[in-house]
Structure 1
């Protein structure tokens, strides 16, 4: 595993409320797992343009298109169901 800083995009429909909750969780699990990453909150409509240079897209909404980077749908962070499984997907995608 390299020590390169990773870049994670966290997207929701509007880029405000739900992504804040998810951003906080993602930052915490990355830190707990020793993954050096910058987390940026965006609107899902911005993801296509911002994916270059990013390592992962975490979204709380259905993806409107396909991306060149791995994606994780993080609805579980809003619903509270299966959050650990989503944590694992995010960590695995960045290792």
Structure 2
């Protein structure tokens, strides 16, 4: 099962909201993945075991895995397109 990390400053409200919404949207489409919300301080630790990263803020470095736009899941603007990108990646 693929693992997706969602990170924001505190790892509580924003990243948890995005992680829950992403997981729910993927489940609606019959796709099971593990989605974890973490804070930016622990991102370097958690990302080692992740297949993809959904970022609330633009990442400062390249983690060597796909990075997706988490703001789309907060605002709803462009969410379907970003969700399709994630699904395409998962199905590869």
TM over 0.5: yes
Q: 1:50 to 1:81 in 2, by over 3 A?
A: same
The residue matched to 1:19 in structure 2 has which SS?
helix
**Contact 1:56–1:94 at 8 Å: present in 2 too?**
no
TM-score when normalising by structure 2: 0.85
Q: Pick the aligned partner of 1:45 from 41, 44, 57.
A: 41
Provide runs of 4+ in structure 1 moved above 3 Å. none
Structure 2 residue ranges without an equivalent (≥5)? none
The residue matched to 1:41 in structure 2 has which SS?
strand
Calculate the aligned-residue CA RMSD, in Å: 1.5
Question: Could you report, residue by residue, the CA deviation over 1:14-59 in whole angstroms, capped at 9, with x for unpaired residues?
Answer: 2111112101111112212222211111113322222222111111
Q: How many residues align?
A: 91
Is the aligned partner of 1:92 residue 2:82? Answer: no
Structure with the higher fraction of residues in helix conformation: 2
Matches within 5 A, 1:1-95: 5-95=1-91
The residue matched to 1:66 in structure 2 has which SS?
coil
